[in-house]
Structure 1
Amino acid sequence: MIKAFAVESGRLRPVDDLLQHKDEVVWADLLAPSKAEEALIEAWVGVGIPTREEMEEIEISSRLYVENGALFMTATLPAQTDSDEPLMSPVTFALAGNRLITVRYHEPRAFQTFPMRSEKVATGCVDGQTILMGLLEAIVDRLADVLERVGRDIDALSQDIFQSAETKAFKRDRNFQRVLQTIGRKEGLASDIRDSLMTLQRLSGFLGNAFVQDKNSKDLRARVKVLTRDVMSLTDHVSFLSQKITFLLDATLGMINIEQNGIIKIFSVAAVVFLPPTLVASIYGMNFDVMPELNWAFGYPMALGLMVISAVLPFWYFKRRGWL
């Protein structure tokens, strides 16, 4: 599918037929294009469109390059970021003169919000370069929103770990299982955002050098510098969130160990408390002929009292030492 846009009074205007308005169109957005659509765009701009396999290559030379005077830049962007399992896929931005071509196989939110906003409000879009800058800024803003949500979720997770209201052990165990699953999802999301920001950082550096060499306007070069600083600040922030997630993981495992140690301590104390009564019962269970207590009238109550005292004394000693 091809979405074509022309510029009118600083706003984007959708174009139904690319061929009929090929001189007016400045942005062609290709979503999962067919071979025929790729051939149409190649004939329009005069440069080859990378295939999906070429877009997925990880070496920088295959993602950032110049061909026939056109700039090709590929970044990995997330889609479905409202969930903790985003869809990661590469997106290629091709800048051929004053025309922008984007090639993608998923639906990042910025590709929906940026055209809608640019249709209603004059965002300064006059050519492919300004559209590219506006689109990249919308992408970075969206990633910032996702990181803000992740930060709020991590804060709520921290309260669940350190301020749990559950008093029953089996409920706490279920909570810890849920916490571990949530931590795993948040770490996966943060890792995906970090990978996306790394590709955007390389893209902004490549684009900045290209704008300097082509002697573009100072405004565009300044916007690239601001974009690069924003990406770097978000990269630092996602690194902080990853460290916090790692801390919460260690804290959760520590809380689980404390719970397990508490259970083992209960069994250990029970074993120690019942050991002396067992000893007393074992002594009076021996079958010897000469045992004076067997003939006493109060022999049985005495044995029971001795067992109770031998159980209470260790328990009292443990409580006094603060071991319980």
Structure 2
Amino acid sequence: MTLVDAAVYVDGRRVASGTAAEALTEARARGGMAWIGLYRPDAAEMNELAGLAGLHPLAVEDALKGHQRAKLERYDDMTFLVLQPARYLDATETVEFGEVHVFAGPDFVITVRHAENPDLATVRHRLEGRPDILAHGPYAVVWAVCDDIVDQYQPVVAGVENDIDEIEDALFSGDPAVGKRIFGLQREVIDLHHATTPLVDMFDRLQQIVLESSGAAEAPAIRDVDDHARRIVTKVEGFRPTLESALTVHATLVDQENNEAMRRMAEFGLEQNEQVKKVSAWAAILFAPTLVGTIYGMNFDHMPELHWSLGYPMALGLMAATSLTLYVVFKRKGWL
């Protein structure tokens, strides 16, 4: 059911409820205001409501498509706002974003939610307890919705700030998951930046619209929300360079670890190479007497050295000479 609530307010008090069409008709008949709350309406419902309230086609198209950046558009005597509320999820340490569209006309306010957050029923209930505020008309509702959304940014900013502090503490711990966490936080901060940065200009323009429509000299309530939004934007803008610095430090630490690993591998390779040299040298030294012994161990009949009285000493001398020569050669080359 996309219609959450539709009510008529006269002098700030709720006097009737019904369908969206009934609320609009009753509000105009009584000279009051209709507040219609919708949750993910389809095209047929939005187009029907657009015909009844005289909504601009471009604003209706944006409301149907969703996934819009925060903005404020003015169409004749109707104001259209797109807001991106956020909430911090402690369980997953992530930020969840929603989307709210607000149509404000001379005698109606239409709020369209595309996510569970924020709970506009609570905002309505709170305003209904303050008929003195609600009596100011549609822009009192716009103020209340904007104020609620901006207030919800406070715990989000605090949660992100705490996550950044944790990352700064974990940078030198050697945890390989730190890099992934930094990238995740950067994405959240970018989304938060997109959601909050346009608010300053939006609320400046909204103040002018309220002053023009009411004829008042000032709009302190909107200015207060504007001040809160400016503080939020300043905080969020400070997160990005902090995360960029953390990412640079992390990349430097990873490079240092990789360089250290490469150095250890090079040292191990050199050490292994020295061992191979020693083994190879001793194998060559031992191979020389083995070769001599193998030759004279074949016992052929026609081997003069076998019947020579100096044959045995000669074989031993040859073995010793070749081994000693190879030892001296390898020793000079540093293999032994």
Q: TM-score range by the shorter chain?
A: 0.5 to 0.7
Change (3 A) 1:230 1:26: closer
How is 1:1-324 mapped onto 2 (pairs within 5 angstroms)?
A: 1=3, 3-7=6-10, 10-16=12-18, 17-18=22-23, 19=25, 22-23=29-30, 25-29=32-36, 31=38, 32=41, 33-39=45-51, 41-42=52-53, 48-51=54-57, 53=59, 56=62, 63-66=73-76, 71-79=77-85, 81=87, 84-88=95-99, 90-95=101-106, 99-102=107-110, 104=112, 106=114, 109=118, 111-126=120-135, 130-164=136-170, 167=173, 169=174, 172-211=175-214, 216-217=215-216, 221-222=217-218, 224-228=219-223, 230-272=225-267, 275=270, 278-279=273-274, 281-282=276-277, 285-286=280-281, 287=284, 292=324
The CA deviation string for residues 223-250 of structure 1, in whole angstroms up to 9 with x for no partner, is x245235325523531431332332133
Identity of aligned residues (%): 11
Q: Work out whether residues 187 and 242 of structure 1, in 8 Å CA contact, stay in contact via their aligned partners in 2.
A: no
Q: Work out whether residues 64 and 74 of structure 1, in 8 Å CA contact, stay in contact via their aligned partners in 2.
A: yes
The CA deviation string for residues 59-88 of structure 1, in whole angstroms up to 9 with x for no partner, is xxx92143xxxx211111125645624233
- Give RMSD over aligned pairs: 3.9
Amino acid of the residue matched to residue 202 of structure 1?
Answer: R
Change (3 A) 1:28 1:51: farther
Q: 1: distance between equivalents of 2:241 and 2:15?
A: 47
Q: Work out whether residues 75 and 203 of structure 1, in 8 Å CA contact, stay in contact via their aligned partners in 2.
A: no
Change (3 A) 1:93 1:105: same
Q: Work out whether residues 64 and 73 of structure 1, in 8 Å CA contact, stay in contact via their aligned partners in 2.
A: yes
TM-score (normalised: structure 2): 0.64
Q: 2: distance between equivalents of 1:85 and 1:280?
A: 59
Residue-pair matches, total = 270
Amino acid of the residue matched to residue 125 of structure 2?
Answer: M
SS at match of 2:236: helix
Q: Which has the greater radius of gyration?
A: 2
Give the drift of 1:116: 0.7
Change (3 A) 1:100 1:74: same
**Equivalence for 2:313:** none
- In structure 1, stretches of 5+ residues that fail to align are 43-47, 307-324
Change (3 A) 1:157 1:80: closer
Q: 2: distance between equivalents of 1:293 and 1:247?
A: 68
**Equivalence for 2:301:** none
Q: 1: distance between equivalents of 2:36 and 2:200?
A: 22
Q: Work out whether residues 200 and 231 of structure 1, in 8 Å CA contact, stay in contact via their aligned partners in 2.
A: yes
Q: 1: distance between equivalents of 2:254 and 2:189?
A: 24
Q: Which has the higher contact order (CA 8 A, sep 6+)?
A: 1
Amino acid of the residue matched to residue 33 of structure 2?
Answer: V
Give the drift of 1:258: 0.5
Change (3 A) 1:6 1:226: closer
- In structure 2, stretches of 5+ residues that fail to align are 90-94, 289-321
Q: 1: distance between equivalents of 2:262 and 2:58?
A: 61
Change (3 A) 1:77 1:165: closer
Change (3 A) 1:208 1:122: closer
Give the drift of 1:165: 9.2
